[in-house]
Structure 1
Amino acid sequence: MGVQRRIKRDYRRLTPTKFHALVLKVKHCLTGNSIFSDDFWGANIFIRQLFFEKAALYDAAYRAASNGDRALIRERDKIMEELVVILEEIAPLLEAASIRNPDALFTTGFTVTQERRSHTRVKLPLVSPNDLNVVNTAEQGRAVATASTMPGAFNHEIQINRGNPSVEADWFHKSIFPDASNMNLENLEAGNTFFRMRHHGSDGPGPWSPTVSVTIT
C-alpha cells in the first residue's frame, strides 16, 4: 500500500481572504525555487509568468475591494476566477514533476495531501462537452449556457470570442461555474459572440467543446 502526495484543489472554494493568502504564498514559493527552476518550466514558463502577473493584480484588487465597493468586488472576483483557471494548469505540472520526489510539493506553497491506495483506480479522462447550448435571454447583455456534466468534473469554464474563433489569442476567459446545467452569463457585449466550454477535474482542464455562435441583445 503506497502513499501518493497531491496538491489539494482547495483554492476552488476558498473565501477571497484565504485565497489571497494562498496566492501570495504560492507566488513567493515559486519565485526562485531551485527545484522548480526555469529549466523545469521550459515551454510552460509563460504559465508561471501569467500567474505572477495575475497574482499581483489580485493583490491590488483584493486591497481595493476592502472598502466594500461592489464594482471593485466584482473585479476582484473576476481576477480570482482567472487565477483558479491558471492554478488548474500549474498543479498537474508540479505533481507530474514530483513523482520521484513527492516532498518537492511542500516547496510550492500549495496545500499538499497524502492518499493511501491499496489498489489502482481507473480514472476516466475528461472529454470535450458535445452539447454546449447558449441561449440569448432577450435581456440586455445576458445569456444562459447549458451542457451535460460528466464524472470527475469539479467545475466548468466558459470562454468567449468576438473576433475570429480560429485565432486562439481572440479567446478570453468569461467565468467558471459549479453547475454545467445552469451557467448564467452577464455583462456581454451586444452582437455576434462565440462561446466554448471545458470541464475542470483533479488533473486540470479537459478539451474545449465545439464553438457555439449566438447573437447577444
Structure 2
Amino acid sequence: MSKKAKVKRGLGRLNAPGLYSAGTVVVTSMTGNPFIKEPYPENVIPLPQVKNTLERFGSSCIEARSGAKQSVALRKKLRAQLIDELYQLAGYVDLVAKGDVEILASSGFEYTKETAPSQVKHQASCPDVELSQGVKRGGIVGKAKRAPRARSCEFHITTGDPTVEGNWKHAAVFGQFKNMELEGLTPGQQYALRMRWIMPEGPGPWTPPLFFMPT
C-alpha cells in the first residue's frame, strides 16, 4: 500500500549549529503560515514557546564556547527541549497536512516522499511438473520441486479444447508437491492439465497445458 509523505524525524542527528539552523527555518516558515494558522489548538505547543526555546538554545551555544560546565550543561538541556518541542510541532503539521506535500513544504520541516502502492509480484516461473500413471486405475500423479515461498499447488483439468478458458475446471489443491495424485479419471481418456503455485500474495502463472492419458 502507499505511504503518505510526512515530516522527517531526524533532528536528533544534527549538531548544534545544524539544529539551530533547522529550528530557525521551521519557526520562520510557521510564522504566518497560511495553511497552519495560529493560534493552534490547546493541546498543541504554541509557536512562540518554540521560538523562545530556539533563541535560548542559540544563546547557550555561544556561551558554551567557553567550555564552562554549567554553560555546556545548559546547552545540552535546551537542545533536548528544542528537539522535543519541534517534534511536537511536527506531529501537528502531519495532522494538518495529511500527506499534502505543499503544506509540508510550507512548514519548513524536511519531509519524506510519498511512496506509490507496491506492485504485487507473483512467482515468475510456473511449476515444473512431471506427470505419471497413478497407483490406482484412472489416476494421475504429479511431482514438482517446490518453489520458494509456495504455499500450495493448484490443478485445473479439461477434456475439451485447452485454449478455451471456459473448458477448464478446478481439480485439486495440494500442500505437498512430491505425490500430487488425481483419482477417479476415465482410463483411456486424454486429459489436459495445468498447474500454478499459490503464493502468499496470490496465485502465480499457469503452466502450459500438459496432456496425459491415464490407464
Structure 2 length-normalised TM: 0.49
Q: Which structure is larger by alpha-carbon Rg, 1 or 2?
A: 2
